Amino acid sequence: MKAEIEKELVKDPENKFHLCSLEALDLFTECCDYLMNKLENDLDNYSEERKKRFRQLLIVYKFALNVQIFHQAMQLFLLYATMASVINYGRMDDVLGEYLQHDLDSGVITYEQAKRYVKNLWTMIENKRTTVNGRVIVGGRGRRNPKAADTFTRIALEVCHECRYVEPQFTLRLYEDTPQDIFDKAMECLADGATYPTLYNDAVHVPGLMNCMHVNEKEAEQYAPFGCGEMNLVGMTVGTPNSVINLSKTLNIAMNAGVDPFDNVYKAGEHKVRPIEELNTFEELFEEFGKLTDYYVDLCVDAQINSYKNLNAEVSFLYNSILMDNCIERGKALLDGGAKYLGGCCEIFGNINCSDSLYAIKKLVFDDKKYTLKEVNDAVVNKGQ
């Protein structure tokens, strides 16, 4: 990484992003050295068995910048993620699978040793207790080496079955080439009461993301849900949920001409909402609801833009930026024009309650004519009987 950055610095020796990135990587190696020295100094305090195990860890630290084996790759991954304050971990089978497959094929480690390593990693992620994060994704289209990645997936599924942790949020992407034994193991985990894996269907999500993100198929294949399930593309996007809409509340406000019955405050800004007395058809009601929703979505867009602008003014997220696909080439941090796609994410709640409410209104008010729209609204706001 340092060589790649230094190559770009030749073109622009004063590029602040490149210069700071080199300093960040130097700091990372200093932290590795600190951990190595601390472990060496503490060896005398442990039993012979633990000394032997910790000496193996020292080998990992000493060769962390020349990763060759699965254990080294896993340690380097966790150290870097910790320095970057990462709490969602992406396509881990794609990152670690080839190292694991190499070690198993060459006899460096046994299957059970590899499983123990992964279980330790799961435990460390669990101990962070971010509760709604800790995403680890395996499976799906677009991996470099599906065979090696699936080897990691099989071990991770066994660990998932045994651990029953809150984190990591272990996520399995299913696609047309998912091996049958992996699918069966996932079903066994869920049948036995394990929380994970959560299941995502590439046949649905890849074309869906091509449509809503306006990206090509190869890019969409790199999707990685994070946190509560928001979508990013590995190495290409940032899209945090910085705004929220409750559709049931929006309908409630639309039914009251822009006033929120909860506090009797008008909450549609300059947008004017027609009173329900002027709405003679369901289509007119739905149109007013749609216009108010569009108004709130526009506010969410403004909030997202301002959020990125203010974050970029304060923080460059160097460790994250260094690993993004385009940041080093462009010489910019991820929120400063480095990321290929700067997406946004608005969390929407109350979807099903809202759709049920709209259906009930359509049937009872406009189809069956059992109630008037005002009678329904008065009942909702506790004004009627």
pLDDT in tens, 102-153: 999 999 899 999 999 999 999 999 998 888 889 999 999 999 999 999 999 9
| pLDDT (0 to 100) of residue 68 | 67
Q: Is 174 helix (H, G, I), strand (E, B) or coil?
A: strand
Other Cβ atoms within 10 Å of 172 Cβ, number: 25
Q: What is the pLDDT of residues 286-315, one digit of tens each?
A: 999 999 999 999 999 898 889 899 999 999
For residue 204, with 0-12 CB atoms within 10 Å meaning exposed, 13-18 middle and 19 or more buried, which class applies? exposed
Task: Please choose, from the candidates 53, 28, 27, 19, the residue with its C-alpha nearest in 3D space to the C-alpha of residue 39.
Answer: 53
Q: Are 283 and 380 in contact (CB under 8 A)?
A: no
Low-confidence ranges of the chain (pLDDT < 70): 53-68, 241, 383-385
| pLDDT (0 to 100) of residue 9 | 94
| pTM for the structure as a whole | 0.84
| pLDDT (0 to 100) of residue 343 | 77
CA distances (Å), origin 264, targets 111, 247, 357: 64, 18, 21
Q: Where are the alpha helices (DSSP H) in the chain?
A: 2-11, 16-42, 48-62, 70-83, 92-106, 111-128, 146-163, 180-191, 202-213, 217-220, 247-254, 282-314, 318-322, 327-330, 351-361, 373-380
| pLDDT (0 to 100) of residue 376 | 93
Q: Are 259 and 266 in contact (CB under 8 A)?
A: yes
| pLDDT (0 to 100) of residue 53 | 66
Q: Are 164 and 194 in contact (CB under 8 A)?
A: yes
